[in-house]
Structure 1
Amino acid sequence: MARHHDAQNWPESTKMIGLLCFVASILTQHGILGQRVKVDPEVTSYPGQSVNLRCSFSDPTGVQLTMVTWIYESKDGLRNNIAVLHPSYEPNYPDSSLKGRVSFQSAQPEMTRPSIQIADLRMSDEGKYICEYATYPSGNEQGTTQLIMLAKPENSASTVSVEAGTEKTTVAKCESANGLPAAKISWVTTAKGNETTTKKAGTDNTVTVSSEYRMVPTPSDNGKDISCVVEHRTLEKPESFKMKLAVLFAPEVSISGYDNNWYMGRTSTVLMCEAKANPVPTSVLWKTMSGEMPDTVLISGNQLKVLKVDETVNTTFVCEVKNRLGTSKSQVTIVVREPSQKSSNAGVVAGIIIGVLLALLLLCAIVAVLVTRSRRQQQGYRAKGGSDLKTRMFGGGKKASKNGTGGGAGSGGTGGGNNNGSIFVYNDGSSHQGLPEKNNHHQPLNMGPRPGVVASTPTAQDILLRNELDEAEIRKFDDIEDEERYDHFSGAGPILQLRSTNDQENMMGGYLDDDMESQRDGSVISRTAVYV
């Protein structure tokens, strides 16, 4: 069943395909034939000028050109023959609005080039111009040219003086008159408003475009910039009209110059009456609330100058400004004060003194910190040698005699002891825990009796500390010991000092001759003795 149905539809499909091919061939042939008439699609010109409308038949082979007709079609769609060319007759120009102004370009025009010229163009000449060939056996063929008439418009712009108010009104106008095609108008401004544009027919088929800028005018809008910009096909670039808004308002008055410091005897004080107005003020009047102007006041225009402030100036001054729209005023109340105290240098001097004192205190604090830090460093250096360095004591006594560390000859009376100790010299090369016999020198110290003092044996650390110091450090150490002996241990007895073996030769009576110092009580003590 399906095959039978397809067999019935096949002839109909074949017919449809054949019909479409036939139509396509006709359209193709018509298109090819239509392209043989060559014209300009569009031509522009201006009123009063002449224009050439070109037309040609590109390939007349196999075709007989029997006649050429130029047809004018206006904007309203009406058609009129304006020029006819026949190979057997003279050119003919039928009656039309173009008669007398239209002609073939050549005195003996050819059928293949029947171009025409139109002189003294008018704006009403704008429209379509059709070049139509009557051929055999093809029939009529044609080409169409659009003539566009251009009219350069007359552009203008202006502002409108308006009074400040609350209603929207026109503040500026712009017009592009008698142009073709119609111009385009736009506005550029910071004022808040909007534009209204209208079009109307001008002379000789032209168009006039008018635009207005509308807004609610305020005094602050006066003098603002506003520009009208006109764009048209005849202009190389847009034409701009720059203007300033003109808003009329009554004066706005203010008084300046009073600094709230007018004191008795002050001179050359000035009040200024400042007014904003449009139009400009016609008069400025100064007066007082009391009605009488002080004798020390000099008025010049909008200036009120007080030659010398006194009690009569203690009043209210009023400035009144007037223009044709109204009168406005402003006032200021003057309060005359007592004469200002003369400035003195007491505060400056006090400030300088305080600054100097603070600087001295800061300097003293820095010196104290540095001195304290230096002493702590010195004490810390001595502390490295052990706390027993300054407390070593070697002397006689009962207990010392019993321990065999001192005593013997010169021990004194019963129960007494000899405080004279011994100087121990330690050799670095000794490997014994105690002191070698050859380095154990006992030299009597005649320092006077010190009952109850128990001598102690120096440790190896004490002896080695002395030997590890170089000569400069030893001298520094001895100087420090002298200071501390008199500062902290005044009145105490000396203890034994450790010296090297080489120093024994320079000792006198067990002490160095340059190490001894006489005391007020007649005794002699060692300079470098350590006291506790």
Structure 2
Amino acid sequence: MARDYAARWPGSLVRSTWLVVAAILIAAQDTGAQKVRVDEKLEAYPTESVDLHCEFVDRGGRTKLTQVSWIWEPTDGQRDNIAVYHPIYGQSFPNLSFKDRVSFLHNTLENPSIKISNLRMSDAGRYTCEYATYPSGNEQGTTTLVMLAKPKNSANVVTVQAGTKSVVVAQCEAAEGKPAATIKWLASVGGNHSTSTTNGPDGTVTVRSEYRLVPTPADNGREVTCMVDQRTQERPWVYPVKLSVEYPPSVSIEGYDNNWYVGRSDATLLCLANANPAPTTVTWTTASGPLPETVEVDGNKLTVRKVDDAVNTTFTCEVKNKHGASRHQITTIVIEALEDPSSAGVVAGAVIGSLLALVLVVALIAVLLTRSRRQQRRGYPSSGDSIATGSGGSNGGDYGNKARLLFSGTGNNSSKNGTGANNNGPIYTYREGCDATGTLTEKANDYHHHHLHHTSPGNAPTAHDILLSGDMVEAERRKFDLDDSMEDDEERYDRFGGVGGGGNMLPPAYHVRRGHGSEEEMDVYLDDDMESQRDGSVISRTAIYV
């Protein structure tokens, strides 16, 4: 029968009935929960204080409150009374761990809120405000207290030695934080990091991170940055760390400029060492043994007070630290002493002065030579040109194109020296050509044709008259070579003097001054230059006789 009755109800109706019943039960629980009003969740920090609010709400006014208790649940399954309030018996704090740290804010059952001071991380947990009522029984509300802890952040460098294995070079830690912190690294050295956590007994968490790399001397002094992020911090905590990589020294010597000359003072060398830690000792030596007396050493600085051959050697600098030693050497070459730069101006001035003096001397010589040549060209005689008597002459060398006047040595009135008072004969001109042969030619004495106005028909022409003839004018206009030497002139003179048996030697002739003007000007000059003698001869005032 029952089965038949149940079969008559459809399945959907049964399910709907159960849903209605469940909703009624939930509503009943909500109605009871709403009677005790508390904070759902609170956050606090160690050493601080927190207020746990609790209030009983009775809308109908029919519930009678007996007492109220605060129950602490640090973990699931553990319940401890920390505070009790009874309107007749008063307050009670049965848990010793909260003694003197818990107090009621209001001495009423309707508002039994408490205050917990000097909080500890272990105070975290669930706090339940529970009422004993009549007739409904116990009513309660629960608050979750979350304890937060700011981490203690730190970062440090780990000193390592340069090598080939990956080692920890820096550490970063966020200690005793709650909740756990997050650590990141910012670096450009190409390493990696690892992180570990440790839970404390009070619920805090310590996070540690290590940075690793294969250290080299170049990594010494570089920075890596630790960054800690945690909810209790307003912004991430950032801390840079400089790496410390130790290595043996590497040494170099500086200061030598390839100009150590004898006498130079205060020449220096510097021994530079790259090492970590800093070098403990620096030692200077030479290849030949101890340092010369002129050398002074002050740490890594070597000073040569005065350069000489003793420092023409090889200097060695050795540097040591706790990881090893290293050395470097340099060979210094001493060269000859250089001139004092202060005397360079004096030397330059002396050289310039000597050059100027030489130029002045050359100019003076040139002026004198030019003046001498001008004087010769103006008619001063040369010993090479002469006039001699004779009917012919021997051939000499090539004497240039010259003309000489020869007076005939024949006549009744000739003197012993070959000059006669009656020079009425022909005029001989001697021309020397480039064919090295001299030609003695005769020209008619046409004095009577050109200068009849000077003498009478009965008088014989004098030497003065011959010089004023037309042939003499033409011969005088020819230019003489003034550059012939005295020896050449004497040779030509001897050649002419030997004509006719050598008995009639004429004295050397005069030179006629060269004329560059007209024929009239030349005649005037000849008149002024010639001087008549008592024996009827004519002598030039400017001629030179030997």
Residue 127 of structure 1 deviates from its aligned partner by 0.8
What per-residue deviation string (whole Å, max 9, x for no partner) do you get for residues 415-473 of structure 1?
Answer: xxxxxxxxxxxxxxxxxxxxxxxxxxxxxxxxxxxxxxxxxxxxxxxxxxxxxxxxxxx
Contact residue 296 and residue 306 of structure 1 kept, 8 A:
yes
Distance in structure 2 (CA, Å) of the matches to 1:35 and 1:235: 36
Residue 213 of structure 1 deviates from its aligned partner by 3.2
3-state DSSP of counterpart to 1:327 = strand
Q: Give the structure 2 partner of residue 18 of structure 1.
A: 17
Residue 54 of structure 1 deviates from its aligned partner by 0.1
Distance in structure 2 (CA, Å) of the matches to 1:84 and 1:291: 96
3-state DSSP of counterpart to 2:325 = strand
Whether 2:124 is the aligned partner of 1:122: answer no
Q: Tell me: CA distance 1:88–1:291, structure 2 relative to 1, closer, same or farther (3 Å).
A: closer
3-state DSSP of counterpart to 1:124 = helix
Counterpart code for 1:42: K
Q: Give the structure 2 partner of residue 301 of structure 1.
A: 299
Residue 145 of structure 1 deviates from its aligned partner by 1.3
> What is the 5 A alignment of 1:197-212?
197-202=195-200, 206-212=204-210
Residue 265 of structure 1 deviates from its aligned partner by 7.8
3-state DSSP of counterpart to 1:61 = coil
> What is the 5 A alignment of 1:97-246?
97-98=97-98, 101-107=101-107, 109-111=108-110, 113-133=111-131, 141-202=139-200, 206-246=204-244
Work out the percentage of aligned pairs sharing the same amino acid: 51
Residue 129 of structure 1 deviates from its aligned partner by 0.5
Gaps of at least 5 residues in structure 1 are 1-7, 344-532
Q: Give the structure 2 partner of residue 247 of structure 1.
A: 245
Distance in structure 1 (CA, Å) of the matches to 2:22 and 2:202: 46
> What is the 5 A alignment of 1:231-380?
231-258=229-256, 270-291=268-289, 293=291, 299-305=297-303, 315-334=313-332
3-state DSSP of counterpart to 2:211 = strand
Distance in structure 1 (CA, Å) of the matches to 2:71 and 2:96: 10
Residue 95 of structure 1 deviates from its aligned partner by 4.9
Counterpart code for 2:42: V
Contact residue 183 and residue 228 of structure 2 kept, 8 A:
yes
Q: Give the structure 2 partner of residue 503 of structure 1.
A: none
> What is the 5 A alignment of 1:41-56?
41-56=40-55
Root mean square deviation, CA, Å: 4.1
> What is the 5 A alignment of 1:75-114?
75-85=75-85, 90-95=90-95, 97-98=97-98, 101-107=101-107, 109-111=108-110, 113-114=111-112
> What is the 5 A alignment of 1:467-506?
none
What per-residue deviation string (whole Å, max 9, x for no partner) do you get for residues 237-288 of structure 1?
Answer: 4444444222222111122334567678877654322111122112222233
Distance in structure 2 (CA, Å) of the matches to 1:287 and 1:99: 79
Q: Tell me: CA distance 1:284–1:88, structure 2 relative to 1, closer, same or farther (3 Å).
A: closer
What per-residue deviation string (whole Å, max 9, x for no partner) do you get for residues 446-503 of structure 1?
Answer: xxxxxxxxxxxxxxxxxxxxxxxxxxxxxxxxxxxxxxxxxxxxxxxxxxxxxxxxxx
**Max Rg structure:** 2
Distance in structure 1 (CA, Å) of the matches to 2:27 and 2:271: 89
Residue 144 of structure 1 deviates from its aligned partner by 2.0
Distance in structure 1 (CA, Å) of the matches to 2:54 and 2:231: 27
Q: Give the structure 2 partner of residue 72 of structure 1.
A: 72
Distance in structure 2 (CA, Å) of the matches to 1:279 and 1:257: 25
Residue 140 of structure 1 deviates from its aligned partner by 5.1
Q: Tell me: CA distance 1:316–1:100, structure 2 relative to 1, closer, same or farther (3 Å).
A: closer
Contact residue 64 and residue 135 of structure 2 kept, 8 A:
no
What per-residue deviation string (whole Å, max 9, x for no partner) do you get for residues 156-197 of structure 1?
Answer: 443333222223333334444444444444444444433344
Greater displacement, 324-333 / 166-175 = 166-175
3-state DSSP of counterpart to 1:20 = helix
Contact residue 65 and residue 109 of structure 2 kept, 8 A:
no
TM-score (norm 1): 0.52
Q: How many residues align?
A: 336
Greater displacement, 199-208 / 119-128 = 199-208
Contact residue 41 and residue 145 of structure 1 kept, 8 A:
yes
Distance in structure 2 (CA, Å) of the matches to 1:163 and 1:252: 15
Residue 105 of structure 1 deviates from its aligned partner by 1.8
Gaps of at least 5 residues in structure 2 are 1-6, 345-546
